[in-house]
């Protein structure tokens, strides 16, 4: 039995996963789960990176206590775009900013005054979002120039955690590609673009391929946690990159939906798709395993539901996500819709009021009960997925036959069925723990235990259950889609 350790960091929690491979199936146990709580200081939004590193070590310690010291490798995946800056001595200059920090407001427009936005897109293929690393560095230069001047290296969050463990400084391909600073034309950093925007290029680390060994855990950390030194593998460090690896597709024209706090809907390509249509529709090209490309649309996702629950919890009306879905099932369909990607829903706050206000401003009936609000959001998400899928077909000039949903959103059976109804196609949901499974699969491929991605996907399909959804009430959903499009 081969044992592997995967650390999967999301926007609200992190987990240590002990994976096991017996030659035929992958299985795993959650060894350690911990909260990922951002911190607001003086109006700025930060990640508590040292706490996250501490919890990482606690995960290793729990493996040791459980008698699982015979770990063959480990890997880390996280969300994209965010980074830490190191000085010449390798010390962290400050806590990394959270991608939802407001300092990037207006940075896209400032960049466009220097370099036409179409030129930026032609170079990077990344959809425009104010949290892109490129715009974060522009904000850093504007508001914290002294920190940027003191920086010797910039490392993305998973690379930073790997550095804490090994002392090695690298940028893994999939996480690098999320930054809007990677040039698909040059197959490396977009240094000329960065220079035009006045950003330093000396802080960039060497880019390594997915599956490469970063290094071994340092001796002092091994002594601290009681674990023999093990290799750290640069898995697909962007969580969506790992999630896409877990898609158990068996050929054909398929799309994937990585469903969690964010929804990433896309397809796999061997080369980037960068043209007038993809620019107009604001689709993104991100790296995948084997230097493939994930052509996708970034959609707000279940963040809105999470924020609704967070607000209601604070008011003392504590309900689980399953209970909220049950309330939504009792309500009438298609009361109102929201544009889930509207800026109003981007930041944390009083989400029930934000949903009501959007409906009021757009002349719709205003959802009032919890069930009505949740159903409004879930129906709007499903309709947004249809819009994104149609755009994907226009760009790739191919018909998508089936949609694979992976990630925590698979647990929301109502949303999965709504999605099948909205897109008029079969939906296959699973695995639920997509990022962890993809992380473990990257390690197995790296170690030669699994031959390639195709073999890994067959293995995943044989290891985990899948749910299947067929479209229902498509005529009603087609009419709802027409009404939804008028809001966007």
Active-site residues, by number, are 239
C-alpha 284/C-alpha 133 separation (Å) is 14
Give the rounded distance of the alpha carbon of 379 from its chain centre.
22
What 8-state DSSP symbol labels residue 202? T
Judging by DSSP bridges, how do beta strands 83-86 and 153-156 pair with one another? Answer: antiparallel
> 357 with 344: CB under 8 angstroms?
yes
Residue written as token pair 């073999």: 455
- What is the largest distance, in Å, between two alpha-carbon atoms of the chain? 63
C-alpha 466/C-alpha 468 separation (Å) is 7
C-alpha 317/C-alpha 167 separation (Å) is 46
SS3 72: coil
Residues linked to residue 27 through DSSP beta bridges, in sequence order:
20
Angle at alpha carbon of residue 291, lines to 287 and 295, rounded to 5°: 40
> 164 with 214: CB under 8 angstroms?
no
> 36 with 11: CB under 8 angstroms?
yes
């Amino acid at each position: 039995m081969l044992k592997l350790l995967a650390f999967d960091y999301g926007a609200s929690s992190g987990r240590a996963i002990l994976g096991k491979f017996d030659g035929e199936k992958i299985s795993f146990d959650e060894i350690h789960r911990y909260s990922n709580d951002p911190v607001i200081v003086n109006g700025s939004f930060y990640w508590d990176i040292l706490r996250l590193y501490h919890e990482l070590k606690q995960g290793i310690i729990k493996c040791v206590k459980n008698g699982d010291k015979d770990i063959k490798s480990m890997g880390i995946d996280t969300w994209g775009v965010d980074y830490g800056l190191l000085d010449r001595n390798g010390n962290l200059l400050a806590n990394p900013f959270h991608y939802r920090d407001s300092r990037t407001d207006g940075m896209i427009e400032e960049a466009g005054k220097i370099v036409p936005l179409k030129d930026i897109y032609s170079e990077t293929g990344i959809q425009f979002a104010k949290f892109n690393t490129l715009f974060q560095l522009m904000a850093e230069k504007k508001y914290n120039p002294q920190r940027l001047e003191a920086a010797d290296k910039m490392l993305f969050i998973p690379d930073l955690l790997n550095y804490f463990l090994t002392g090695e400084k690298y940028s893994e391909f999939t996480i690098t590609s999320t930054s809007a600073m990677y040039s698909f034309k040059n197959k490396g950093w977009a240094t000329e673009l960065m220079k035009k925007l006045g950003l330093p290029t000396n802080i960039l680390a060497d880019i390594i391929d997915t599956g490469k060994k970063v290094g071994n855990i340092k001796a002092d950390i091994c002594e601290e946690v009681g674990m023999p030194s093990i290799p750290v593998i640069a898995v697909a460090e962007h969580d969506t990159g790992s999630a896409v690896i877990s898609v158990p597709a068996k050929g054909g024209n398929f799309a994937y939906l990585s469903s969690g706090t964010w929804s990433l809907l896309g397809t796999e390509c061997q080369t980037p798709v960068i043209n007038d249509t993809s620019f107009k529709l604001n689709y993104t090209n991100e790296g995948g395993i084997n230097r493939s490309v994930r052509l996708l649309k970034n959609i707000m996702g279940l963040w809105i539901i999470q924020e609704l629950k967070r607000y209601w919890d604070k008011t003392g009306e504590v309900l689980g996500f399953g209970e909220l879905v049950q309330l939504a099932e009792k309500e009438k369909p298609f009361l109102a819709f929201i544009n889930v990607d509207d800026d109003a829903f981007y930041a944390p706050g009083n989400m029930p009021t934000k949903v009501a206000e959007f409906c009021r401003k757009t002349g719709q009936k205003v959802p009032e009960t919890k069930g009505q609000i949740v159903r409004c959001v879930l129906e709007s998400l499903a309709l947004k997925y249809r819009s994104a899928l149609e755009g994907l077909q226009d760009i790739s000039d191919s018909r998508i036959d089936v949609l694979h949903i992976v990630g925590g959103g698979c647990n929301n059976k109502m949303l999965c069925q709504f999605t099948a109804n909205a897109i008029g196609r079969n939906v296959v949901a699973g695995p639920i723990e997509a990022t962890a499974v993809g992380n473990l699969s990257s390690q197995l491929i790296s170690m030669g235990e699994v031959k390639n991605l195709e073999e890994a996907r067959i293995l995943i399909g044989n290891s985990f259950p899948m749910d299947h959804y067929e479209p229902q009430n498509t005529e009603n959903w087609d009419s709802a889609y027409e009404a939804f499009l008028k809001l966007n």
